[in-house]
Amino acid sequence: MQRLLWNCMYLLGQTPWDTGVTPPELSAVVESGRVQPGRALDLGCGTGTNVMYLAVHGFEAFGVDISSRAIARARRKIEQAKLDRRAHVHTGDATRLDLLPVSGPFDLALDMGCFHSLDLPGRERYVVGLSSRMKPGGLYLLYAFSPRVRLGRQIGLADEDADKLFSPAFKLSNVAHGEDRGGIGSAWYTFCKTSEVSQTSEV
């Protein structure tokens, strides 16, 4: 059902999140040298804008998105840019990384709006999958809406929940609050991977 929903939104062009612009929060980390080029993962990668950006800047970049339409567009863009040796995208569920060829370990991970739409069991599986694939000391950047109701269901992420859900596998090092282009409250969360692993099973 979720895959059908996201495919319909891409078919209808109802994708305001897919701006084609790499966020300054990511470019600041990459271009400052805070994370050296290595392996990177974009969860909810859409049409591949940030996967391509990371590949251009020396990373071997992997993207995952539930929408096969988004991934098809991403692959065309990657091929046209001749980045297919460094940029790889896969259709799949970000909460089931164990079913995808994205084994890691990753130095950098990014999520712009995927995690905040998941239910609690999905969030728990997501954290387990990501934590098992990140290098200790690796950086994880998460963009999420503040808690709100959309289409009758609760989405978004509160600061206290971010800290609780990702601990002890990740340490929350910074939160930067703001608003999206429509005036909706949001935040960028910066996490550092610890040496701990989540105790919840991926199965």
Say which CATH number the domain at 172 has: 3.40.50.150
Q: Which residue has the tokens 């259709």?
A: 91
With respect to residue 173, please indicate whether it lies within any of the assigned structural domains.
yes
Whether the predicted pLDDT of 199 surpasses 80: no
pLDDT of residue 100: 93
With respect to residue 201, please indicate whether it lies within any of the assigned structural domains.
no
State the residue range of the domain holding 173.
2-193
Of 196 and 165, more confident: 165
Which residue, among 56, 51, 53, has the nearest Cα to 71 in the 3D structure? 51
User: Which two three-digit tokens encode residue 123?
Assistant: 């969030």
Are the C-beta atoms of 153 and 123 separated by less than 8 Å?
no
With respect to residue 202, please indicate whether it lies within any of the assigned structural domains.
no
The CB-side HSE value for 189 (13 A sphere, CA atoms) comes to 30
With respect to residue 198, please indicate whether it lies within any of the assigned structural domains.
no
pLDDT classification of 9: cutoffs 50, 70, 90: low
Give the tens place of pLDDT for each residue, 86-122: 999 999 999 999 999 998 899 999 999 899 989 999 9
With respect to residue 199, please indicate whether it lies within any of the assigned structural domains.
no
Whether the predicted pLDDT of 130 surpasses 60: yes
pLDDT classification of 153: cutoffs 50, 70, 90: low
Are the C-beta atoms of 166 and 141 separated by less than 8 Å?
no
Query: In this structure, what are the phi and psi dihedrals at residue 87, rounded to the nearest 5 degrees?
Result: -120, 125
With respect to residue 203, please indicate whether it lies within any of the assigned structural domains.
no
Of 147 and 31, more confident: 31
With respect to residue 140, please indicate whether it lies within any of the assigned structural domains.
yes
pTM here?
Answer: 0.90
3-18 average pLDDT score: 65
How many domains in the chain?
1
